[in-house]
Structure 1
Amino acid sequence: MTDDEDAADTHPREEFHEDPLGHADVWAGMSVGDLATEYGKAGIGAAEMSRAVDVYTEMLERDDVTNFFGLAGAMVPGGMRKVVTDLIRDGHIDALVTTGANLTHDSIEAIGGKHHHGRTADSGHERDHDEQLRDEGVDRIYNVYLPQEHFTLFENHLRDRVFDEFDGVVATSEFTRELGRANLAANDENGVDEDAGIAAAAYEHDVPVFVPAIQDSVLGIQAWMHSQVSAFTLDALGDLTNITDVAFDAEKAGATVVGGGVPKNFVLQTMLTVPDAYDYGVQLTTDPASTGGLSGATLDEARSWGKLEKSAKNVTVLGDATITLPLLVAAARDRLE
């Protein structure tokens, strides 16, 4: 008898259960769904990613689940615009909560602007690098560049096609619907090569887009400026009614949260205003839970607040969402086919 067997006999194991770890196999031509399955044999982050695919796939394949999607961070500048747009078009997002910044960048691409590959500065030259970009009229989002003239294009678009449609108080989700309509029209009329994008797809498919911190963006600044010379203003509290109506009508509910901040909390807190809570949850974040901050708080923690059902299936995956989001979506699509 080995020392390990002696230890097992002396100390009954309540936490440990026989579940041998496997080793992920990879091969040429494997699908993303296959990769997620192989991740499930492994441990650490791979195991969490595999579980996230399992939960997300179940969320999408059930017809009785209303899917709420929170999108924070620089996801549009980071190249995730088409991933989200296609989810909307395929009926996998029933309510979108995002930032004014993501809608700003989405609109810029819809009307003919373009983000570009850039770079981070060499060590010790960070200040000089960004001062040079400022002199050249180029904004940097980590390793992505955006010429500032695209913001002028966007501001003209708002004045010419969006603001004049309103006179008075309007809920943010009504404003973003009109933005989507305008983006779609401009994209079509001007023959823009890039897709009309997130707001346009939401408009076409009647998916509400909520931006609870819209003032924290170029879109919000432009809305405020217009409010100074007109009766137009945005009603942030009106969207609490609108998103609560979606939640109240849901038979089952699932939350996919990309990043943290206001979009994450707005998605999750919605269940505090209705009798039920989320039945499914997947979170993709870079932030650890140990700071106590919202962006890193796990979905297990959200259960203590009553935002998730005690029986909910949920996973939190740590990692860059420009890596984890396409993997999550592609693997789920493989399994749904």
Structure 2
Amino acid sequence: MKVNQIDISKDMKVSDLVAQFEASDVLGAGRVARATNILANMIKDEDTNVFMSLGGPLIPGGMRNIVSQMIREGHVDLIVSSGANLTHDLLEAFGGAHYRDEGKDDEELNAEGIGRIADINVGSNDFEVFEKEINRLFEIISAKKPVISIQELIYEIGMLIDDENSFIATAARNNVPIFAPGIIDCMIGLQLWIFSQDHDFTISAAGDMPYLSDIVFGSEKVGGILLGGGLTKHYTLASNILNGGLDCAVQITMDRPEAGSLGGAPLEEAKSWSKAKCGSNLATVVGDVTIIFPLIYAAALDKI
């Protein structure tokens, strides 16, 4: 079958552009189109619970409102997040912000109390407010629940935040559970350790498993939106081994497969581990999540 050439026209919609990708159906354009169709179908299917994993600097990279919108619209049913994305969501909820880098030398940034994430800057003053506020929330939560699972902790934090753009707060108010198996590896984890030195407050990682397994077993079908790789991707995939694997999934990653890392593994590899079902509908798109996911989600909205 002949490759169709892509046509561009003035004022065309995102969905029209992706339709041109679909007509071409080769290389990255074809993968973006397939990912769009899988995403739209999993959102439309009322029998499919949608699990989304958030790896990499997605919240400081501008994805915060998109994640919150998906929760409000009922387009995602469960989130697995890195601790860093939770931290940066709270930093903004507490009044901080993320700034575009101005090209300063890293040692100069260090002297000014600024941390750099690629071309994103975060000030130490905002982290000082973060530390104060998160400890205030720990005081409230620990008095009520001295032993708590990670998911419950994130829920309780979300219920105490007054920020409609916070994906943590939005998830709590819409009963979308957030799991964060690597929460210790972030500023929240550091503050938890410091707080626990003189408070009776225990975080149970294993405490998440009964709730998570109940969700998996109670799902007729599960779809995955895997943004970035690493722990959040694996936790999403591995949790679904309990029920034979994901039924459909979209992965967007910049990682490469040659070194054998999970982050770079194509989704088809998950079938060998029963993390994705044989016959499942899968699409891997190699690219920057902050470019590709807004594109496919915008196009999918026209199909829903």
Check whether TM > 0.5. yes
SS at match of 1:105: helix
Pair 1:280-2:248 in alignment: yes
Q: Which moved more, 1:287-296 or 1:112-121?
A: 112-121
Counterpart for residue 166 of structure 2:
197
| Aligned-partner SS, 1:80 | helix
- Of 294, 299, 302, 1:326 maps to 294
Q: C-alpha displacement at 1:148, in angstroms?
A: 0.8
Q: Counterpart amino acid of 2:229?
A: G
Q: 2:74 aligns with which of 63, 84, 91?
A: 91
Retained in 1: the 8 A contact 2:64–2:165?
Answer: no
**Alignment correspondent of 1:14:** none
Cα deviation per residue 1:59-79 (whole Å; 9 max; x = unaligned)?
Answer: 001110000000000001101
1:109, 1:196 within 8 Å by CA — same for their partners in 2? Answer: no
Partner of residue 44, structure 2: 61
Match of 1:191 in 2: none
Establish whether residue 306 from structure 1 lines up as the match of residue 303 from structure 2.
Answer: no
Instruction: Name the TM-score, length of structure 1 as normaliser.
Output: 0.87
Residue 220 of structure 2 is aligned to residue 237 of structure 1: no
Aligned to 1:316: 284
Measure, in 2, the Cα distance between the counterparts of 1:223 and 1:179: 13
Task: Name the CA distance, whole Å, in 1 between partners of 2:30 and 2:209.
Answer: 36
Quick one: distance in 2 between partners of 1:229 and 1:298? 45
| Partner amino acid, structure 1, of 2:115 | D
Partner in structure 2 of residue 168 of structure 1: 146
Using structure 2 for the length normalisation, give the TM-score. Answer: 0.96
Indicate whether 1:219 and 2:188 are aligned: yes
Task: Trace 1:1-337 onto structure 2 (pairs within 5 A).
Answer: 19-42=1-24, 43-120=26-103, 129-166=105-142, 167-184=145-162, 187=163, 195-274=164-243, 276-336=244-304
Deviation per CA, 1:141-186: give whole Å up to 9, x if none.
Answer: 11011111111111111122333322422100000001111222xx
1:277 is displaced (CA, Å) by 2.1
Instruction: Output the CA distance in 1 between the equivalents of 2:36 and 2:8.
Output: 18
Q: What do residues 15-55 of structure 1 show as CA deviations (whole Å, max 9, x unaligned)?
A: xxxx2110111111111111111111232111100100011
Per the TM alignment, residue 110 of structure 1 is displaced from its structure 2 partner at its CA by: 1.3
Taking structure 1 as reference, are residues 291 and 120 closer, same or farther at Cα in structure 2, changes over 3 Å only? farther
For residues 29 and 95 of structure 1, the distance between their equivalents in structure 2, rounded to whole angstroms, comes to: 35
Counterpart residue type for residue 38 of structure 1: Q
SS in structure 1 opposite 2:23?
coil
Q: Is the 8 A contact 2:226 2:252 kept in 1?
A: yes
- The AA in structure 2 aligned to 1:130 is D
Separation in 1, partners of 2:212, 2:231:
14
Separation in 1, partners of 2:102, 2:285: 27
What percent identity do the matched residue pairs reach? 36
Deviation digits for residues 230-249 of structure 1 (CA, Å, limit 9, x no counterpart): 11021111112221111111
**After TM superposition, where is structure 1 displaced by more than 2 Å over at least 4 residues in a row?**
161-164
The count of residues paired between Structure 1 and Structure 2 equals 301
* 5+ residue gaps, structure 1: 1-18, 122-128, 188-194
The answer on whether the counterparts of 2:255 and 2:264 sit within 8 Å (CA) in structure 1 is: yes
